[in-house]
């Protein structure tokens, strides 16, 4: 600053600004004038220096054009001109100012209404007949309609240059952003892909923006704009609304629009009449916008970020340029509203015009208050401000005539206005540090939070997609999870309660079983949808848990596909013929049921949520985890009916376990009839148990078979060689060294009990058929029911036996004897799509293994218990009712649980003993030695099972 007066005034301004940072202190209209008229130009230069200094301090400021404007004669109109462009944010520092430009929606609304009122097109539409008459009312309606049409053409905003149309469009679109976010969030509730939610939000925004800019129409959601709410609720405009009610309900758009239209026309008429009303309305709108721009309770905390009040500079006010009228209007509006606004006005006035501002600080002091001593200007400025602030309450009284209570007039002595030497110029420092709100609650911190949130969300979403089979952006179906598959890749395990299809997770190039699995899943899902849609409250839910995965090391889906076919067939038969409908949920236990513990947990958790789940069909593989699986399902009251799990120990330990498969002990007892005949052929025969090594696997079936098979061979008086265990690496059995040792030893066994899996029999035959010592020797191999899944070459399959080797194995389903008494095959030809038009027989591919028949019978048995009395039963009642199940005409015979003891073995399982030999034509043919259908308790005999 180049003068002592400038230094003192600038310090006083900075003192007010610092007070504004911590409190809402009143901001006066500081009017500077010289004591000597000869110093008027120095006062104007001082105002310019103050403006430049505040601009350097980062204050948002505007300079009103006080130069004479042509065409305006009325001082009130000239005063209005001073505020004409203050609704442009660029007049207040623009983008260079701190925190972002100001917004002036209320001031721009008033200016738009002024422009529409003064529009030449509107002149001929104003009513000429007094109100209250029919013609007067009709003219008022026409004038209001045309006024609203002009405002709609302007988008209810001031007319702006063409280059700002794009910015206007963006300002309008901002109000649709919350709608877009709401649309995206609503879409997310349906758990779609993330891009569907984004497209939904963007599409809603584009639709609203298009509707908002229909030509000749008012903007969309006009009544929700903040300027519209102010326009309708401010008491300042109540005097203008003289003829009709302008009550508004923000949730009623039609009524709100009528209120806006009524008030708009009434205010336009008042502005057309002139007087002080238009100027005061401009001033009020400016104050309300500035108050809103510094409101601390806003969503962006802008009041905490804008710590310096805005300053309006008037270089020299006079009667001619309307400055005096503007100052009076500011004082009048503040006195009437009695609300603090942040605007600080600094004006210069000629010494001769100072009297136009009436009483200032140099007037006679109030009685009883001592005259201040002749302090320096800096002390006087502070004293004058304190005195002015203390007198505000009294000076706003209507009885105080000729008072402008909000004006603080500062006379400047001539000595203080003299220029200082340049070396004595001083810079008044502005204490400024970034407020905490600008650091914590800012666009940068928001961007950082969004980046961190987006990163965390992306990582979380990625983890959800990695962990669960069906996942969205923020949520997932937790009933199915991803697990590593044997040989690499992943598989989807759990219970499919949503849109999961296990067939979709099969490796590329799926075989016939894979295509059949996908088709069955679709048909089961369609049947379930029909049950839920048309039979609410009259259905029961059964879960099928089976191996519905394949892997690089085991791509076979024979068991899962065939069992699922039986379950679906039972569902169709039940739903076509019974009142209580059957809903089937599919659960995948993984390749070879390796993830059945995870599946059991998923079933149990879902059963806690769905009381219609009455039991489980499946879990047909005996693993180390079978104990935990059965115990977990028992804890939630779910009975299990298995078609193929031959575990001997499960029915002895769990009362909720029911199985149609002959236990391993029963199978080896039946195979003992064959072993007895083989024993009689030789005087001192040797035997060997060759078992799969289960040390590093979950398999328990092979160890059970090895145990009972060895005990059977000892009982039949074979000389047992030391047992051997072969490992499985990368899905392939390591049998070469074992075959060499067996075949090249001193004693070659004539009987081998093979406790392994069906996929291992081919390599075993290859090794024994080419190894010296075994290739030319008659060898019999006994094994359990897992070989029933094999498809030997005599029936068009790829499995076979080596020359001079005879394979004897047990099977779980006697289908031939039961075929004449069951409708199973007729139903299969009717409901299974790949059987339609073909002959369905017990020895046809897809039925010969018995997997389909056993799964069908297990499902029918569980359904019978769950629908006793043609009424849906609870799971507890189903558990109890299972011990009363006796069903004739099933695919495997009679399913009878009535004599099943608690914690003991039952009898009456279906069982078959088969022999597989190689014919002279080089194919492997299967023949049935002996069998018993389900329901028969008569034991097999050597005569029936003769190998001759």
User: Of the given ranges (283-297, 302-316, 357-371, 882-896), which has the lowest mean pLDDT?
Assistant: 357-371
**pLDDT at 555 exceeding the cut of 70:** no
Q: How far apart are CA 294 and CA 297, in angstroms?
A: 9
Query: Which H helix or E strand runs over 80?
Result: helix 75-82
Spatial contact of 788 and 812, defined as CB atoms under 8 Å apart: yes
**pLDDT at 469 exceeding the cut of 60:** yes
Q: How far apart are CA 31 and CA 317, in angstroms?
A: 9
Residue among 647, 662, 637 nearest 866 (CA) = 637
Cα dist from 807 to 167, 662, 771, whole Å: 86, 19, 18
What pLDDT score was predicted for residue 405? 87
**Per-residue model confidence as pLDDT tens digits over 53-110:** 888 888 899 999 888 766 666 888 889 888 888 888 888 876 556 688 899 999 999 9
What pLDDT score was predicted for residue 344? 94
Spatial contact of 687 and 721, defined as CB atoms under 8 Å apart: yes
Q: What are phi and psi of 547, to 5 degrees?
A: -80, 100
Mean pLDDT calculated for residue range 157-161: 74
**Cut 0.75: pTM above it:** no
What pLDDT score was predicted for residue 369? 40
* 407-412 and 29-34 strand pairing: parallel
Mean pLDDT calculated for residue range 663-669: 92
Q: What is the dihedral of CA 840, 841, 847, 852, to 10 degrees?
A: 70
**pLDDT at 173 exceeding the cut of 60:** no
What pLDDT score was predicted for residue 403? 66
Mean pLDDT calculated for residue range 362-376: 49
**pLDDT at 553 exceeding the cut of 60:** yes
**pLDDT at 695 exceeding the cut of 70:** yes
What pLDDT score was predicted for residue 788? 81
Mean pLDDT calculated for residue range 693-710: 89
What pLDDT score was predicted for residue 654? 93
User: Hunting for tokens 């601390």 — which residue is that?
Assistant: 296
* 751-755 and 686-692 strand pairing: parallel
pLDDT confidence tier of residue 366, bands split at 50, 70 and 90 = very low
Higher pLDDT, 554 or 731: 731
* β partners of residue 544: 586, 617
Which one of 391-405, 544-558, 783-797, 931-945 scores highest in mean pLDDT? 931-945
- Residue 488 is given by DSSP the state S
**Per-residue model confidence as pLDDT tens digits over 286-307:** 999 999 999 988 888 888 888 8
**pLDDT at 164 exceeding the cut of 60:** no
What pLDDT score was predicted for residue 134? 82
Question: E strands, 777-932, where?
Answer: 779-783, 805-811, 886-890, 893-896, 911-918, 924-932
Helix (H, G, I), strand (E, B) or coil at 52: helix
Mean pLDDT calculated for residue range 15-22: 84
- Residue 833 is given by DSSP the state T
What pLDDT score was predicted for residue 398? 55
**pLDDT at 362 exceeding the cut of 60:** no
**pLDDT at 608 exceeding the cut of 90:** yes
User: Of the given ranges (411-420, 443-452, 547-556), which has the lowest mean pLDDT?
Assistant: 547-556
**Per-residue model confidence as pLDDT tens digits over 320-346:** 888 999 999 999 999 888 788 999 999
Q: How far apart are CA 514 and CA 339, in angstroms?
A: 77
User: Of the given ranges (286-300, 350-364, 540-554, 808-822), which has the lowest mean pLDDT?
Assistant: 350-364
pLDDT confidence tier of residue 399, bands split at 50, 70 and 90 = low
**pLDDT at 508 exceeding the cut of 80:** no
User: Of the given ranges (110-119, 212-221, 320-329, 349-358), which has the lowest mean pLDDT?
Assistant: 212-221
What pLDDT score was predicted for residue 404? 84
Which one of 247-261, 508-522, 540-554, 879-893 scores highest in mean pLDDT? 879-893
**Per-residue model confidence as pLDDT tens digits over 188-214:** 556 566 667 777 777 777 777 666 666
pLDDT confidence tier of residue 187, bands split at 50, 70 and 90 = low
What pLDDT score was predicted for residue 446? 83
The DSSP code sequence of 342-360 is --EEEEEE-GGGGGGG-B-
**pLDDT at 601 exceeding the cut of 80:** yes
**pLDDT at 421 exceeding the cut of 90:** no
Mean pLDDT calculated for residue range 926-933: 91
Helix (H, G, I), strand (E, B) or coil at 685: coil
What pLDDT score was predicted for residue 41? 92
Which contacts of 516-523 are long-range, i.e. CB under 8 A and separated by 24 or more positions? 516/561, 516/565, 516/834, 517/548, 517/557, 517/560, 517/561, 517/564, 519/833, 520/561, 520/564, 520/565, 520/568, 521/496, 521/564, 521/586, 523/568, 523/833
List all residues 6 or more positions away from 17 whose beta carbon is below 8 Å from its beta carbon.
Answer: 59, 308, 309, 344, 430
Q: What is the dihedral of CA 830, 831, 833, 835, to 10 degrees?
A: -50
pLDDT confidence tier of residue 443, bands split at 50, 70 and 90 = confident
- The pLDDT > 90 percentage for the chain reads 37
Q: What are phi and psi of 753, to 5 degrees?
A: -90, 115
The DSSP code sequence of 710-778 is HHHHHHTT-EEPPPEEE-EETTEE--HHHHHHHHSSSS--SEEEEES-GGGHHHHHHHHHHSTTTTTS-
Q: How far apart are CA 503 and CA 506, in angstroms?
A: 5
Cα dist from 530 to 318, 341, 617, 822, whole Å: 86, 67, 21, 27
Spatial contact of 719 and 644, defined as CB atoms under 8 Å apart: no
What pLDDT score was predicted for residue 14? 87
pLDDT confidence tier of residue 215, bands split at 50, 70 and 90 = low
Q: How far apart are CA 110 and CA 156, in angstroms?
A: 9
Higher pLDDT, 97 or 229: 229
**pLDDT at 285 exceeding the cut of 90:** yes
Helix (H, G, I), strand (E, B) or coil at 682: coil
Residue among 596, 607, 591 nearest 629 (CA) = 596
What pLDDT score was predicted for residue 240? 53
Q: If you average pLDDT over every residue of the chain, what do you get?
A: 84
């Amino acid at each position: 600053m180049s003068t002592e007066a400038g230094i003192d005034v600038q310090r006083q301004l900075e003192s007010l600004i610092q007070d504004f940072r911590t409190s809402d202190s009143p901001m006066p209209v500081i009017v500077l004038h010289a004591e000597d008229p000869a110093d008027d130009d120095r006062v104007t230069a001082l105002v310019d220096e103050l403006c430049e200094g505040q601009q350097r301090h980062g204050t948002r400021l505007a300079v009103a054009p006080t130069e004479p404007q042509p065409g305006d004669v009325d001082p009130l109109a000239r005063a209005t001109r001073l505020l004409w462009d203050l609704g442009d944010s660029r007049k207040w520092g623009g983008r260079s100012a701190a925190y972002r430009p100001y917004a002036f929606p209320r001031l721009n609304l008033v200016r738009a209404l002024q422009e529409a009122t003064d529009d030449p097109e509107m002149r001929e539409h104003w009513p000429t007949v007094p109100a209250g008459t029919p013609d007067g009312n009709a003219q008022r309606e026409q004038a209001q309609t045309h006024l609203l049409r002009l405002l709609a053409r302007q988008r209810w905003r001031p007319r702006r240059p063409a280059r700002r149309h794009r910015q206007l469009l963006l300002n309008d679109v901002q109000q649709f952003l919350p709608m877009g976010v709401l649309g995206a969030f609503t879409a997310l509730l349906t758990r779609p892909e993330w891009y569907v939610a984004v497209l939904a939000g963007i599409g809603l925004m584009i639709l609203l923006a298009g509707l908002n800019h229909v030509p000749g129409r008012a903007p969309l959601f006009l009544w929700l704009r903040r300027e519209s709410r102010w326009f309708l609720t401010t008491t300042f405009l109540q005097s203008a609304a003289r003829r009709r009610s302008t009550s508004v309900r923000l949730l009623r758009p039609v009524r709100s629009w009528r209120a806006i239209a009524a008030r708009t026309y009434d205010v336009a008429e008042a502005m057309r009449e002139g007087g002080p009303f238009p100027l005061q309305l401009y001033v009020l709108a400016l104050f309300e916008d500035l108050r809103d721009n510094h409101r601390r309770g806003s969503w962006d905390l802008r009041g905490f970020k804008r710590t310096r009040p805005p300053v309006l500079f008037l270089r020299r006010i006079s009667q001619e340029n309307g400055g005096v009228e503007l100052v009076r209007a500011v004082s009048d509006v503040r006195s009437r509203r009695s609300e603090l606004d942040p605007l600080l006005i600094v004006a210069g006035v000629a010494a001769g015009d100072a009297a136009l501002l009436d009483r200032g600080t140099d007037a006679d002091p109030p009685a009883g208050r001592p005259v201040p001593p002749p302090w320096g200007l800096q002390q006087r400025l502070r004293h004058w401000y304190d005195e002015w602030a203390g007198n505000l309450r009294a000076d706003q009284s209507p009885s105080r005539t000729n008072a402008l209570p909000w004006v603080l007039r500062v006379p400047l002595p001539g000595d203080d206005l003299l220029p200082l030497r340049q070396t004595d110029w001083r810079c008044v420092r502005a204490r400024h540090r970034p407020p905490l709100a600008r650091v914590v609650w800012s666009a940068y911190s928001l961007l950082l939070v969004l980046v961190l949130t987006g990163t965390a969300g992306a990582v979380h979403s990625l983890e959800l997609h990695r962990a669960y089979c069906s996942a969205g952006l923020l949520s997932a179906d937790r009933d199915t999870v991803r697990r590593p598959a044997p040989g690499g890749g992943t598989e989807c395990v759990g219970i499919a309660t949503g849109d999961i299809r296990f067939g979709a997770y099969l490796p590329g190039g799926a075989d016939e079983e894979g295509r059949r699995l996908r088709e069955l899943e679709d048909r089961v899902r369609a049947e379930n949808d029909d049950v839920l849609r048309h039979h609410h409250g009259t259905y029961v839910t059964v879960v099928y848990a089976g191996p519905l995965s394949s892997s690089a090391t085991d791509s076979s889906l024979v068991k899962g596909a065939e069992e699922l076919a039986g379950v679906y067939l039972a569902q169709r038969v039940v739903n076509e013929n019974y009142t209580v409908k059957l809903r089937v949920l599919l659960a995948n236990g993984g390749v070879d049921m390796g993830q059945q513990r995870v599946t059991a947990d998923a079933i149990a958790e879902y059963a806690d949520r769905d009381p219609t789940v009455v039991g489980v069909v499946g879990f047909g593989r005996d693993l180390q985890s079978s104990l935990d699986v059965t115990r977990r399902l028992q804890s939630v009251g779910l009975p299990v009916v298995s078609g193929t799990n031959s575990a001997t120990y499960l029915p002895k330990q769990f009362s909720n376990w029911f199985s149609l498969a002959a236990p391993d002990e029963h199978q080896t007892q039946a195979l003992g009839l064959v072993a007895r005949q083989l024993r009689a052929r030789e005087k001192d025969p040797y035997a060997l148990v060759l078992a799969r090594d289960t040390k590093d696997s979950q398999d328990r079936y092979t160890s059970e078979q090895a145990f009972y098979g060895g005990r059977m061979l000892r009982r039949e008086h074979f000389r047992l060689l030391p047992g051997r265990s072969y490992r499985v690496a990368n899905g392939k059995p390591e049998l070469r060294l074992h075959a060499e040792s067996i075949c090249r030893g001193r004693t070659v066994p004539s009987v081998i009990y093979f406790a392994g899996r069906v996929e291992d029999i081919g390599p075993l035959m290859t090794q024994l058929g080419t190894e010296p010592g075994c290739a030319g020797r008659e060898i019999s191999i006994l094994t359990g029911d897992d070989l029933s899944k094999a498809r030997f070459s005599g029936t068009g399959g790829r499995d076979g036996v080596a020359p001079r080797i005879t394979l004897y194995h047990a099977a779980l389903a006697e289908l031939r004897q039961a075929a004449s008494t069951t409708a199973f095959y007729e139903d299969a030809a009717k409901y299974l799509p790949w059987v339609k038009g073909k002959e369905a027989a017990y020895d046809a591919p897809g039925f010969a293994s018995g997997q389909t028949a056993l799964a069908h019978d297990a499902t029918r048995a569980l359904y019978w218990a769950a629908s006793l009395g043609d009424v849906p039963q609870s799971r507890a009642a189903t558990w109890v009712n299972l011990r009363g199940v006796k069903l004739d005409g099933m695919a495997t015979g009679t399913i009878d649980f009535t004599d099943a003891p608690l914690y003991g073995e039952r009898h009456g399982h279906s069982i078959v003993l088969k022999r597989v030999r190689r014919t002279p034509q080089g194919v492997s043919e299967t023949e049935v030695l002996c069998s018993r259908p389900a329901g028969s308790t008569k034991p097999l005999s050597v005569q029936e099972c003769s190998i001759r």
